[in-house]
C-alpha cells in the first residue's frame, strides 16, 4: 500500500511539533513530503527536514532560503505565500499549522487542489469563509478540523442527518476552559500580566492562541469557525465553560440528546483523527482513566468581564468582512500585548474599537479580503499607544 503524503505547514510550532509526534508513530502509513515555517526557527525546520528526509521546504524570506540551501543538499526551497500555496497543493493531506492570517494561502490552495485540509489555522477560515465555501467543494477536497472542539463536533455529528444545515441538530455546544483568568473579577483583571496570561491551566499551545484563550477571543473565533465548518448559523452555536477540558464539545439534537467527545486535553488525538480518517489510528493519545475520580463541571461564560465572546457574535451578525476585521485587529492587539506595548484589557478594547470603525465590504474575491485585512490592521495599529 502506498503511503499517504503529508505537507506540514507551520511545522516548527506547537501543532507542528505534535503532528510530527503522530507521524513518528506511523512511518508505514504516512510520508512527510513538505514542510514550512516562519523565520523564527529555521534551524528547527532544517532538523525536521533531515529527520524525515523532506524534499520540499517553505520559508518566508530569501535569507532563510539561503540558510536552508546551505544546510541541506538536493532539497527544493520555496519562498513566501506563493511557496506556501505550492506546497499546499503538493500532498494528499495538508496540515495547516501556521498561526494567523499568514495561513490563508495554505487553506485556499489545499482545497482548490482537491486535497484533504487538516485545519488548525482557524484565522484563515474565519476571515475567508466565503472564499473557502467556493473552493471546498472541489473534487477530492475535504476540510477536517484539528481544533479540538470542532474535531469533537465532527465526531459527534457522525449520526446526524446528512441534509445541509443539520436539521436534526438543535445546537452545537463549544466547551471552553475559561483560561487562566476564569473567575477573576474586574479589578483583578485590570492587573493581569503577560506571564499570567501565558500560563494556560490545561493546554500548552503557541503564544497567540494562549493569549486568545485568556481573553476568550479564542472561543469567539471558534464560534465563527464552527459556523463556517458545519454550515450552522452562529445562533445555534453556544459556549459553556468547562474548566477540566475533558469534554471537548457537544452536539445537542432536537430530541434533547447530547453527544459529547471526551479525552484528556492532548492535541495529538485530533491531529491523529484528521490524518487517519476514515480509519482510527491505533494509539490512544488522550485516553481517560476512569479508575480514578473524575469530576466534570459546566458554567455559563462571564460575558461582562470577557466581552470578546459577544464581539465575535456581533461580527458574525454584521457579516461580510467583519469577521476578517475582528480577527486582523485581534492579531495586531495580541502582538502588541506580547510586545508589552498594551495591557491585557486593551487587547479586546482595540478589537472592539476597530470593529466599530468597520467599513462594510463584501468578501467575494481574494483581493477584497486582502484589502479588508490591510485596512483593519491599519486602523488597529493607529489605535496603539505611540
Binding mask 245-274 for ligand NDP (x = CB under 6 A): ----------------------x-------
Binding mask 146-175 for Mg ion (x = CB under 5 A): -xxx--------------------------
331 interacts with Mg ion by CB under 5 A:
no
**Dihedral class, residue 320 (left if φ above 0, else alpha if ψ from -120 to 50, else beta):** left
C-alpha cell at 369: 479580503
Nearer to ligand NDP, 42 or 253 (CB): 42
Long-range contacts, stretch 299-302, CB < 8 angstroms, 24+ apart: 299/178, 299/240, 299/241, 299/242, 299/243, 300/240, 300/241, 301/176, 301/178, 301/216, 301/219, 301/239, 301/240, 301/241, 302/182, 302/241
The single residue among 56, 65, 115, 122 that binds ligand NDP, judged by CB under 6 A, is: 122
- Closest separation in Å from C-beta 208 to ligand NDP: 6
224 interacts with ligand NDP by CB under 6 A:
no
Residue 32, CB half-sphere, CA atoms under 13 Å: how many?
26
286 interacts with ligand NDP by CB under 6 A:
no
Q: Which does 122 bind (CB under 5 to 8 A by kind): Mg ion, ligand NDP, none?
A: ligand NDP
83 interacts with ligand NDP by CB under 6 A:
no
Q: Which stretch binds ligand NDP (CB under 6 A): 97-105, 169-177, 296-304, 354-362?
A: 97-105
199 interacts with ligand NDP by CB under 6 A:
no
147 interacts with ligand NDP by CB under 6 A:
yes
Candidates 217, 216, 230, 223; CA nearest to 326 is: 217
38 interacts with ligand NDP by CB under 6 A:
yes
123 interacts with Mg ion by CB under 5 A:
no
Residues that bind ligand NDP (CB under 6 A): 10-16, 36-41, 60, 97-99, 102, 120-123, 147, 203, 205-206, 208-209, 267
Residues that bind Mg ion (CB under 5 A): 147-149
Amino acid at each position: 500500500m502506498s503511503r499517504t503524503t503529508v505537507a506540514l505547514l507551520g511545522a516548527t510550532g506547537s501543532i507542528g511539533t505534535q503532528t510530527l509526534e503522530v507521524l513518528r508513530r506511523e512511518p508505514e502509513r504516512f510520508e512527510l513530503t513538505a514542510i514550512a515555517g516562519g523565520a523564527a526557527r529555521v534551524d528547527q525546520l532544517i532538523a525536521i527536514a533531515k529527520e524525515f528526509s523532506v524534499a520540499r521546504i517553505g520559508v518566508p524570506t530569501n535569507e532563510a532560503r539561503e540558510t536552508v540551501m546551505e544546510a541541506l543538499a538536493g532539497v527544493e526551497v520555496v519562498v513566501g505565500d506563493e511557496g506556501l500555496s505550492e506546497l499546499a497543493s503538493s500532498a494528499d493531506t495538508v496540515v495547516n499549522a501556521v498561526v494567523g492570517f499568514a495561513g490563508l494561502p495554505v487553506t485556499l490552495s489545499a482545497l482548490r487542489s482537491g486535497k484533504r485540509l487538516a485545519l488548525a489555522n482557524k484565522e484563515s477560515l474565519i476571515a475567508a469563509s466565503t472564499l473557502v465555501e467556493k473552493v471546498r467543494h472541489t473534487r477530492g477536497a475535504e476540510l477536517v478540523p484539528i481544533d479540538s472542539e470542532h474535531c469533537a463536533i465532527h465526531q459527534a455529528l457522525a449520526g446526524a442527518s446528512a441534509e445541509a444545515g443539520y436539521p436534526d441538530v438543535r445546537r452545537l455546544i463549544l466547551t471552553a476552559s475559561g483560561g487562566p483568568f476564569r473567575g477573576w473579577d474586574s479589578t483583578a483583571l485590570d492587573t493581569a500580566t503577560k506571564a499570567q496570561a501565558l500560563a494556560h491551566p490545561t493546554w500548552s499551545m503557541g503564544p497567540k492562541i494562549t493569549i486568545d484563550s485568556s481573553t476568550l477571543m479564542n472561543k469567539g473565533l471558534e464560534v465563527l469557525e464552527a459556523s463556517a465548518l458545519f454550515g450552522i448559523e452562529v445562533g445555534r452555536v453556544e459556549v459553556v465553560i468547562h474548566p477540566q477540558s475533558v469534554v471537548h464539545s457537544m452536539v445537542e439534537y432536537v430530541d434533547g440528546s447530547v453527544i459529547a467527545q471526551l479525552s484528556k486535553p492532548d492535541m495529538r488525538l485530533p491531529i491523529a483523527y484528521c490524518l487517519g480518517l476514515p480509519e482510527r489510528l491505533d494509539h490512544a493519545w488522550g485516553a481517560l482513566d476512569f479508575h480514578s475520580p473524575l469530576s466534570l463541571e459546566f458554567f455559563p461564560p462571564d460575558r461582562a468581564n470577557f466581552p470578546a465572546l459577544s464581539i465575535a457574535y456581533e461580527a458574525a451578525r454584521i457579516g461580510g468582512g467583519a469577521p476578517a476585521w475582528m480577527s486582523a485587529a485581534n492579531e495586531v492587539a495580541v502582538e502588541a500585548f506580547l510586545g508589552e506595548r498594551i495591557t491585557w484589557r486593551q487587547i479586546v478594547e482595540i478589537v472592539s474599537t476597530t470593529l466599530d470603525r468597520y467599513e462594510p465590504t463584501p468578501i467575494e474575491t481574494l483581493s477584497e479580503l486582502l484589502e479588508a485585512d490591510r485596512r483593519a490592521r491599519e486602523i488597529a495599529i493607529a489605535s496603539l499607544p505611540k
